[in-house]
Amino acid sequence: MSDLQSALQGARFDGYVSVFEAQPAGMIQLRADLAEDAVAHAVHRATGATIPQPLGLSTGDRGEALWMAPDELLLRVLTDAIPELLADVQDDLRDHHHLALDVSAMRTEIRVEGAAVREVLAKVTPVDMETLKPGTVRRTRLAQVAAAIWLSNDETAHVLCFRSVATYVFDVLSVSARKGGEVGAF
């Protein structure tokens, strides 16, 4: 059995905000009709969370559910819990049209922390970072690649990108966060 290796080996850059790779999370991609009770039940059993609103994120005692598309959620849980939780989800939904997959190795989370996180992200994404509310998940473009961005508070941003471009995203965010690059826009 091989261990899950993180894409960036815990890389960190300290500029006028800090950019670092977050601890690897277990991730389950769930595609289904989000209006079905069985889906709400499965999501709750896996994470303790409710079905999030469109562009939302909901948190439970065992994980969180991110809204990715009208028919898609990303469940984030502890890595070790994945085999059991995935089996539970598939069992709960066995009579419903769905897809549930372990995609833990598919994406990397990079955390950006500091008072200027909105500005550092605004340099590299078309999202209006001035008005983005904590808890809103925006799948968007970050420089030249796709990424999901959300704030958990005004000084903590989470960036989720594909593992294959993790180094690129980390480098782009590090350049954006470099001291001397302050704009003071917000």
Partner 1 sequence: MLILHCPYCGVDADETELSPGGEAHLTRHGPGSDDTDFESYLFMRENPKGPQFERWRHAMGCGKWFHAARHTVTMQVFGTYPAQTQRPPQEILDRISAAQPGWRWRDLGDEGQRA
Given the rule CB under 8 A, which residues bind partner 1? 54-55, 68-70, 72, 126, 138-141, 146
Give min distance, CB of 92 to partner 1, in A: 24
Give min distance, CB of 143 to partner 1, in A: 10
Give min distance, CB of 173 to partner 1, in A: 17
List the one residue out of 68, 95, 92, 89 whose CA is nearest residue 77.
89
Query: Among residues 20 and 150, whose Cβ is nearest to partner 1?
Result: 150
Q: What is the Cα–Cα distance from 142 to 16, expressed in whole angstroms?
A: 19
Give min distance, CB of 71 to partner 1, in A: 9
List, in order, residues 6 or more apart from 119 with CB less than 8 Å away: 129, 182, 183, 184, 185, 186
List, in order, residues 6 or more apart from 162 with CB less than 8 Å away: 106, 107, 108, 145, 146
SS3 152: strand
Query: Among residues 10 and 134, whose Cβ is nearest to partner 1?
Result: 134
Query: Among residues 41 and 133, whose Cβ is nearest to partner 1?
Result: 133
Query: Among residues 96 and 141, whose Cβ is nearest to partner 1?
Result: 141
